[in-house]
Structure 1
Amino acid sequence: MPELNRRHFLVTGLAAGAAATVPAGAAHADPDPAAESAQSLASRGLRADPFTLGVASGDPDHRGFVLWTRLAQQPLAEDGLGGMPQRPFPVLWQIYADERCRRLVRSGVVTAAPQWGHSVHVEVDHLEAGRPYWYRFRVGPYLSPVGRALTAPHPRSYGGPLAMAFVSCAQYEHGYFTSYRRLAEEHPDLVLHLGDYTYEYTKNTYTSPGGNVRHHEGPETETLANYRQRHAQYKSDPDLQAAHAAAPWLVVWDDHELDNNWADEVPEKPEVPQPDFLSRREAAFRAYYENMPLRRTSIPRGIDMQLYRRVQWGRTATFHMLDTRQYRDDQGCGDGYRDCPAAVDPARSITGAEQEAWLLDGFRRSRAQWDIIGQQVFFAQRDNNAGPAKITSQDAWDGYVASRRRITQGWIDAEVRNPVVLTGDVHAHWAADLKLDYDDPTGPSVGSELVATSISTGGDGGDSDPAAHPFLEINPHLKFYNNQRGYVLTKIDRDLLTADFKVLPQVREPGAAVHTKATYVIEDRVPGVRQTYLRPVDPALRLRMEMTVEETVRLETERP
């Protein structure tokens, strides 16, 4: 594939670099006769709208961003090809300075190749810093929906407050994606997706309480065709499309984009012979790239894909996006809650040595007001045993204690001004103070962790007393818990990070309203979280008042 990679993305790069510049106020007609000719050719073989999967943008900097779409006339086709003819299609892309698409700023033509699932990635450059743009695509007579993207502030500028939301865990079968719709209505500047964007299971393998409300198409994902079909099914959801169109995204995967609880080259169940696992990993990575707004630096090469990266939002924030799956050592004592001697082995790592060195170097170089680590699994210690034994999740950072300590010591030594860890995976809202030594609860807090609940995984969940969970008593650095579905919406300025924990009463039916369950703030140079608002438990919505340790462990370890 190296020749295809180079050719396909050379076309993309030339399209971006040679794009037409049009004076402000110009009409929104096609930019030149060549574009018209390309669009005439594009219509051949198309009998239906190919923009069934929506549009997206991602990885912004102060000069531009990535634009994405994927052509699919029949998105759920079993062969994963989306009902597209096996030939390349020229795709016109356009960027506008206004929401009504009247002031064309940039445009160009890029090739959607069948070898890459007719996906399109355009890296746009030379735009103004710190402002919104609107974009769309055209193939023949078909126009895509319009999406909104933003450039980051200039690296020497703070810009205004950053409205950033983060999400994770959207199991299509367990509920509707109403949280994505409500997130889009918040008009954020940036969205972080922290993993489990899709799930790999075939119909009814992974069921939620009360049964699944809709179903996956196709078998468990193992081939490229399977993964393409599954991504297309998720991308066909209108609520997810709305969230993608609302703002640029920064994405990282967790486990279900490939296989539950996988670790580097080891599948979830290594005791079961799986000779095709590395082929499955290659297929999953390729499909992930094809369906995400990622830069060419993330083009997969066989079973490897460069996903950890750094994104700067002016002087306000540096986002360190981590990959805690591709390079980790296998879980030491299985994936569940264990008292595991391997968890404290200093040789074991959840990031791998190269990514760890990259992250520590980023801490040393950072001059941002806020250093935000976007990653997948619980960072703070969560001991479920009140006695002397430590019973912790071996799939989270608790299974890699020395690795966590090296990262934490790294930001302390670098004198990082405000380290904040963002997390998904556990299907509940949490907030925590971070410690260097969790065995000394009186020791200083050295950072903060905010955890987003799931979009839909686990079904409705239930309203719960945020102070009643036994984990909070056993682990005094844990400050907040809620078991409803939703997302976290933050406002980040120079002096304060404000986090609103948004929840929905149910997801088994579409259209639920959203409200703020609690608000926590992190003050500049004051590590740890502080609560400023708490909405009382609604007895009419309460499904379980206090989730026990046993229930939490069961829900987190008995996932198929």
Structure 2
Amino acid sequence: MTPAAHQSQHAPELRAAARHIGRRRFLTVTGAAAALAFAVNLPAAGTAAAAELDPARITDNPFTLGVASGDPLPGSVLLWTRLAPAPYQPDGGLPAERVPVRWELARDENFRRVARRGTVTAHPEFHHTVHVEVPHLDPDRVFYYRFRVGSWISPTGRTRTAPATRARAAELTLAAVSCQAYADGYYTPYGHLAQDDVDVVFHLGDYLYEYAINSVGNNRNYTDRTLPDLFNRETVTLEDYRLRYALYKSDPDLMAAHAAHPFVVTWDDHETENNYADDIPENNVPPEEFLLRRASAYRAYWENQPLRRPQLPEGPDMRLYRRLHWGSLAQFDVLDTRQYRSNQAYGDGAQLPGPDIDDPSRTMTGQTQERWLLDGWRASRALWNVVPQQVTFSQRKLDLNPVAKLSMDAWDGYRASRRRVLDGAKAAGVDNLMVLTGDVHVGYAFDIKDDFDDPASRTLGTEIVATSIASGRNGAEKPANWNTYMTANPHLKFYDGRRGYVTVSLGRDLARADFKTVPYVTTPGAPISTAASFVTEAGEPGLKPA
């Protein structure tokens, strides 16, 4: 049976089973975890599902994981925090009781001009996270926000609304980040990003890694602290994923970046499990067990990210792909290339291509999301159509042989799916296509070609690949395969293996990408520099050195 047939035959029943599993029912499994459980039928916000805790009883700082904001709209911001006086404990140091949380949104960081204020409930069923959607705001404005619980006041966050949908916005500067394996090093790039002048940050996946972290933080080599043993196991249960987010989000550089800028997030594989594809796990685990794990991972992801209510998951399903606008300057079609994809052809690593990668029945996005993307392009009136997504979109030959190996986990393993997307962009008249990518722990800059095997073919757009924040440890300016990749892929204009992030400034005439890198992350305090800069002109796709 083909992977596509497997999915179509079993997916509805498996998803239904995962949605209806009782919140106190446990499934015995083999391997690293002894039990797997996921709570369903959780109350909506405002439901009196538990007793209310008197905030005066909270004697330790509940804002240990900072604040965040996300998905800026022309008239609305989304604010996030979590109450966790003891973040490394499963209950966060709070009883299973509701907690009233006051919030304020102001036009100045001293909160003398408060624009909105209110109270929201932190429910134990949501692990005492709160998501505040603040409507009826002026577009294209910077705001400051904070939370209060009893006598405790959170750090101040800075966020903003997007310009009005039809406004002729002159410019936008975004940052793209990805891949932040806590165990591989410090989040030094985030410390620099917190000081950078950007409007919004796009996180392109691998915010979390499922692998065990030892008492000294693996490559962080802590000497001033000891991490609890509960982190030294792979994440499988809802409690595992929640605790891992607590560890990651306690990092001061990550907290600083979240407080400084609104984030737009999408996931890749490690937020659940390495290289999974739809309901197919990496290893030989029954799909029904994996969907329960996926439900736990998706639930914890929503709880711990600045996401709006439409993204609230239902069991193992979560609508993460969505569309944002920045006036008439840019349309952002945020993709999910993990939840709906066909299984990888010929394994999930570097393989010789075979006929399956051109099978039109195989998909990277699923039919519904693909149609949504192409329909959105046809309706777009934006100057720049930007696609934040996860895995390398452009062809990337991995050796110099006549028939080169390709990554089966990237779009190279789904060539028919990529062809439909590119043909859809051409049919919609998308002149300024830009794809933002993460995943590979290096920085790339590609020209997107109509025919990647013909360097003279039409250039359809630009792909900017953001290197990792920490994953892969320190990296190198020129990895060992640098010459091979640059020779095998003439449309590859830049390749750097160090850690960091990329900023992209979109204007009415051109876009500029600046690749920012640090020399090391295995010890803190590295400086940052710009490794390379490129521009692409509006109406003239193709990268040129700045």
**Cα pair 2:431 2:460 within 8 Å, conserved:** no
Aligned counterpart in structure 2 of residue 105 of structure 1, from 109, 112, 115 = 115
User: For residues 345 and 512 of structure 2, what CA distance do their matches in structure 1 show?
Assistant: 36
**What secondary structure is seen at the aligned counterpart in 1 of 2:436?**
strand
Per-residue CA deviations over 1:364-421 (Å, capped at 9, x if unaligned) read 0000010000000000001123233131000000000000010011111100131000
RMSD of aligned alpha carbons = 2.0
Q: Answer yes or no: is 1:432 the counterpart of 2:442.
A: no
Cα distance in 2 for residues equivalent to 1:129 and 1:467: 46
Q: 1:129 corresponds to which residue?
A: 139
Deviation at residue 160 of structure 1 after TM alignment = 3.9
Which residue of 39, 58, 61 maps to 2:70?
Answer: 58
Q: Tell me the equivalent position of 2:30.
A: none
How far apart, CA to CA, are the structure 1 residues paired with 2:481 and 2:251?
Answer: 35
Kindly indicate whether the alpha-carbon contact (under 8 Å) linking 2:387 and 2:434 is maintained by their aligned counterparts in 1.
Answer: yes
When the two structures are aligned, how many residues end up with a matched partner? 497
- The alpha carbon displacement at 1:497 in A equals 0.8
Residue 354 (structure 1) aligned with residue 368 (structure 2): yes
Percent identity, please. Answer: 49
The 1:274–1:212 alpha-carbon spacing in structure 2 relative to 1, beyond 3 Å, is farther
Q: Deviations over 1:41-72 (max 9, x none)?
A: 64143121111110000011110111000110
Match of 2:233 in 1: 219
Listed one character per residue, the Cα deviations across residues 473-502 of structure 1 (whole Å, up to 9, x for unaligned) are 111011110011000011111111111000
2:314 aligned residue (283, 291, 301): 301
- Distance in 1, matches of 2:292 and 2:236, equals 8
For residues 60-118 of structure 1, give each alpha carbon's deviation from its aligned partner in whole angstroms, at most 9, with x where no partner exists: 111011100011011011x2x21111101111010001022211110011111000110
User: For 1:362-381, what aligned pairs fall within 5 Å after superposition?
Assistant: 362-381=376-395
Instruction: Answer yes or no: is the 8 Å Cα contact 1:202–1:218 preserved in 2.
Output: yes
**Where do 1:318-357 residues align within 5 Å?**
318-341=331-354, 342-357=356-371
Answering whether residue 162 of structure 2 is matched by residue 152 of structure 1, we say yes
Summarize the alignment of residues 486-501 of structure 1 with structure 2, pairs less than 5 Å apart. Answer: 486-501=500-515
Corresponding residue to 1:193 among 203, 224, 233: 203
Equivalent pair of 1:41/1:140 in contact (CA under 8 Å): no
Instruction: Note the C-alpha offset of 1:437.
Output: 1.4
- Alignment of structure 1 residues 27-426 onto 2, 5 Å: 42-77=54-89, 79=90, 81-203=91-213, 213=221, 217-269=231-283, 271=284, 276-341=289-354, 342-426=356-440
Contact map agreement 2:400 2:484 (CA 8 A) in 1: no
Aligned to 2:8: none
CA contact (8 A) 1:469 1:481 kept: no
Q: Larger deviation: 353-362 or 519-528?
A: 519-528
CA separation in 2, counterparts of 1:408 and 1:115?
43
CA contact (8 A) 1:467 1:479 kept: no
Deviation at 1:466, TM superposition (A): 12
Contact 1:171/1:457 (CA < 8 Å) preserved in 2?
yes
- SS of the residue corresponding to residue 106 of structure 1 reads strand
TM-score (norm 2): 0.88
1:8 aligns with 2:68: no
In the TM superposition, what whole-angstrom CA distance separates every residue of 1:335-374 from its partner, at most 9, and x where no partner exists? Answer: 1111132111111001000000000001000000100000
Answering whether residue 545 of structure 2 is matched by residue 531 of structure 1, we say yes
Q: Decide whether the 8 Å contact of 1:187 with 1:247 is kept in 2.
A: no
Q: Give 3-state SS (helix, strand or coil) of 1:162's partner.
A: strand
> Whole-Å Cα distance in 2 between the matches of residues 465 and 88 of structure 1?
51
Contact 2:455 2:490 in 1 (8 A): yes
Q: Measure, in 2, the Cα distance between the counterparts of 1:134 and 1:472.
A: 45
The runs of 5 or more residues in structure 1 that have no matched partner are: 12-39, 533-560
By how many angstroms is 1:325 displaced? 0.4
SS at match of 2:45: helix
Letter in 1 for 2:71: D
Alpha carbons 2:53, 2:97 under 8 Å: kept: no
- C-alpha separation between the residues in 2 aligned to 1:337 and 1:453? 19
Distance 1:514 1:9, change over 3 A: farther
Per-residue deviation, 1:469: 2.7
Stretches of 4+ aligned residues off by more than 4 angstroms: 272-275, 465-468
Displacement of 1:195 after TM fit? 0.3
Query: 1:352 is aligned with what amino acid?
Result: G
Deviations 1:409-442 (A, max 9, x none): 1111100131000000000000000012112221
State the secondary structure of the residue aligned to 2:486.
helix
CA–CA distance in structure 1, aligned partners of residues 214 and 41 of structure 2: 41
Equivalent AA in structure 2 for residue 115 of structure 1: E
Displacement of 1:247 = 1.1
Aligned residue type for 2:117: S
CA contact (8 A) 2:320 2:335 kept: yes
Aligned partners of 1:372 and 1:179: how far apart in 2? 23
Which runs of no fewer than 5 residues in structure 2 stay unpaired?
1-38
In structure 2, relative to structure 1, the CA distance for the partners of 1:376 and 1:369 (3 Å cut) is same
Give the TM-score normalised by the residue count of structure 1: 0.86
- C-alpha separation in 2, matches of 1:189 and 1:340: 40
SS of structure 2 residue aligned to 1:283: helix
Check whether the contact 1:45–1:85 (CA below 8 A) recurs between aligned residues: no
1:218 touches 1:226 (CA, 8 Å); kept in 2?
A: no
Distance 1:477-1:394 versus aligned 2 partners, 3 A rule: same
Query: 1:203: Cα distance to partner?
Result: 2.5
| Distance in 2 separating the partners of 1:309 and 1:85 | 35
Name the CA distance, whole Å, in 2 between partners of 1:160 and 1:465.
Answer: 38
Moved more, 337-346 or 166-175: 337-346
CA distance in 2, matches of 1:9, 1:312: 30
Q: Kindly provide the amino acid, as one letter, of the partner of residue 59 in structure 1.
A: D
Deviation at 1:276, TM superposition (A): 2.3
Amino acid at match of 2:73: D
- Give me the whole-angstrom Cα distance separating, in 1, the residues matched to 2:435 and 2:401: 28
1:363–1:139 Cα change, 3 Å: same
CA distance in 2, matches of 1:455, 1:113: 32
Task: For 2:387, give the aligned amino acid.
Answer: I
